């Protein structure tokens, strides 16, 4: 079996720097594939096959080395699976040279997912992994380098995704934004050249258009109907209603945050918590309605560090994967019960856990100043709040229509 290592070659250039190369050895014969980078030997760790941290660009160079080694190893495994051990080092070199001529987008994406996993951002992996899979489907098992990601390639990808027929415009835009994000990072790490960047607003580039989605929230009258339903003999539905209202009463708090609220987060009639999405810390008043829900779960000493709602109890909070899976399963369960609740309340709108956020926005309308809504929504940018709230502000448009047609 062939082996792959990264070394400094012995022949230096005129500046006294030595080339970093990937060495492939099989049957005691070696071939070298150059990375195009040179290094002073004092910065090279031969044991770890890495650039020492004392080098000013060590992170970028080590990223490049990791990607090159991963690409080479991938080709090596594919060749072995196809031809067994019956291939020469020269044949392998031919395939590696072709592959390594451009940085692999797929290998870079896997490195991105690895970093997300280390940061315990599993929900992002969960949402972005399908995007990568759609790009792989388009490539039909072929490799993809960054220099292949051109405007014609992206247009072809868009056409393919539309032809599949199962994806909406927003899902297609998400695929393009995923590519754009990784391409920008690769530019920052100097792995690809910015002059070949295919995205932008100028003519001939790909401009990603994010379609507006229809956001429909409940009215205050509809929410009152849900509040007043007698669900005493339907414990699962009552629990789903409580969790939904808990979210609504706190400006549409995300379900991932709702389920992580602990008794220890309540102090002197206020709730203090840190958002999962952006780690922002916020304090909100516990209203009488909210307190009524909390009291229904007071089966533990309020001073404990246990969760208020039962879905995540007993799970190690450091086990990010299990926390994510349990939250997703709980959301599916809640949405199932909410569907039954809407029927009982005589509401025709579709209700999910996320509609609690839309409902708060719908009732807030233009009654609350955008700066306060930005705080309640925990948005980093006021523009995000204004764009979101525009979905629920209809008064001026309605009055304008009435002014014309009511004659």
pLDDT in tens, 326-363: 999 999 999 999 999 999 999 999 899 988 888 888 88
Residue 93, pLDDT above cutoff 70: no
What gap in Å lies between CA 54 and CA 265, rounded to an integer?
Answer: 43
Does 114 have pLDDT greater than 50? yes
Q: Return the residue matching tokens 């629920």.
A: 392
Give the residue with greater pLDDT, 385 vs 308. 308
Specify the pLDDT at position 291. Answer: 93
Residue in 226, 370, 213, 196 with CA at minimum distance from that of residue 293: 226
Average pLDDT in the 232-249 region? 93
Architecture of domain 220-397: Orthogonal Bundle (1.10)
d(CA 235, CA 402): 46
Instruction: Say how far apart CA 239 and CA 330 lie, in whole Å.
Output: 11
246 token code pair: 């808990």
The tokens of 85 are what? 């051990």
Classify 113 as helix, strand or coil.
Answer: helix
pLDDT value of position 97? 52
232-249 as b/e, with b when 16 or more CB fall inside 10 Å? Answer: eebeebbbbbbbbbbbbb
Residue 98, pLDDT score: 46
DSSP 103: -
Here the tokens at position 344 are 């009982």
Three-class SS state of 323: helix
Least Cα distance to 101 among 146, 37, 51, 63 occurs for: 146
At residue 294, the pLDDT reads 92
Per-residue pLDDT, averaged over 374-380, amounts to: 70
Could you tell me which residue, 36 or 192, shows the higher pLDDT?
192
Question: What is the rounded average pLDDT of the residues 203-222?
Answer: 84
**In the chain, pLDDT over 90 holds for what percent of residues?**
36
Distance CA 261, CA 51 (A): 44
Handedness of CA 38, 39, 40, 46 (dihedral sign): negative
DSSP state of 22: E
Q: Tokens representing 89?
A: 């080092």
Instruction: Please say if the pLDDT value at position 75 is more than 80.
Output: no
User: Closest Cα to residue 36, out of 62, 10, 11, 64?
Assistant: 64
More confident residue, 78 or 358: 358
Please state, in angstroms and rounded to a whole number, the distance separating the CA atoms of residues 308 and 286.
Answer: 14
- The answer, yes or no, to whether residue 99 has pLDDT greater than 50, is no
Which runs of consecutive H residues, i.e. helices, occur in 140-267? 151-164, 169-188, 220-227, 235-249, 255-258
pLDDT at 158: 93
In angstroms, the Cα distances linking 286 to 19, 81, 143, 320, 386 are: 64, 61, 54, 28, 26
The 10s digit of each residue's pLDDT in 169-202 is: 889 999 999 999 999 998 888 788 888 899 998 8
Rounded Cα distance between 151 and 202, Å, is: 12
Residue 137's pLDDT band (boundaries 50, 70, 90)?
Answer: very high
């Amino acid at each position: 079996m062939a082996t792959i290592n990264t070394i400094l070659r012995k022949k230096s250039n005129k500046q006294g720097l030595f080339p970093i190369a990937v060495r492939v050895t099989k049957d005691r014969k070696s071939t070298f594939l150059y990375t195009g980078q040179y290094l002073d030997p004092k910065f090279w760790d031969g044991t770890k096959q890495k650039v020492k941290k004392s080098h000013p660009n060590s992170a970028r160079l080590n990223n490049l080395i990791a990607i090159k080694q991963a690409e080479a190893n991938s080709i090596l495994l594919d060749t072995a699976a196809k031809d067994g051990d019956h291939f020469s080092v020269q044949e392998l070199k031919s395939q590696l040279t072709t592959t390594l001529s451009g940085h692999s987008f797929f290998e870079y994406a896997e490195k991105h997912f690895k970093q997300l996993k280390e940061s315990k951002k599993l929900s992002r992996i969960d949402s972005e992994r399908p995007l990568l899979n759609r790009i792989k489907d388009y490539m039909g098992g072929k490799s993809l380098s960054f220099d292949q990601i051109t405007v014609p390639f992206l247009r072809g990808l868009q056409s393919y995704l539309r032809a599949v027929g199962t994806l909406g415009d927003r899902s297609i835009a998400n695929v393009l934004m995923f590519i754009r994000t990784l391409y920008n990072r690769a530019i920052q790490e100097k792995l690809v050249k910015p002059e070949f960047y295919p995205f932008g607003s100028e003519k001939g580039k790909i401009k990603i258009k994010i379609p507006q989605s229809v956001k429909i929230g409940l009215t205050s009258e509809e929410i009152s109907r849900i509040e007043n339903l007698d669900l005493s003999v339907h414990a699962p539905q009552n629990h789903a209603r409580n969790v939904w209202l808990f979210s609504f009463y706190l400006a549409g708090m995300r379900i991932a945050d709702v389920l992580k609220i602990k008794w220890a987060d309540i102090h002197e009639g206020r709730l203090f918590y840190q958002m999962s999405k952006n780690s922002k810390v916020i304090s909100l008043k516990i209203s009488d309605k909210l307190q009524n829900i909390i009291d229904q779960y007071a089966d533990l000493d309020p001073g404990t560090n246990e969760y208020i709602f039962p879905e995540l109890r007993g799970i190690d909070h450091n086990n990010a994967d299990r926390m994510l899976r349990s939250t997703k399963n709980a959301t599916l369960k809640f949405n199932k019960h909410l569907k039954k609740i809407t029927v009982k309340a005589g509401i025709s709108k579709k209700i999910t856990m996320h509609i609690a956020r839309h409902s708060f926005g719908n009732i807030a309308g233009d009654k609350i100043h955008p700066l306060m809504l930005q705080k309640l929504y925990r948005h980093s940018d006021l523009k995000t709040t204004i764009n979101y709230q525009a979905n629920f502000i209809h008064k001026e448009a309605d009055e304008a229509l009435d002014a014309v047609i009511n004659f």
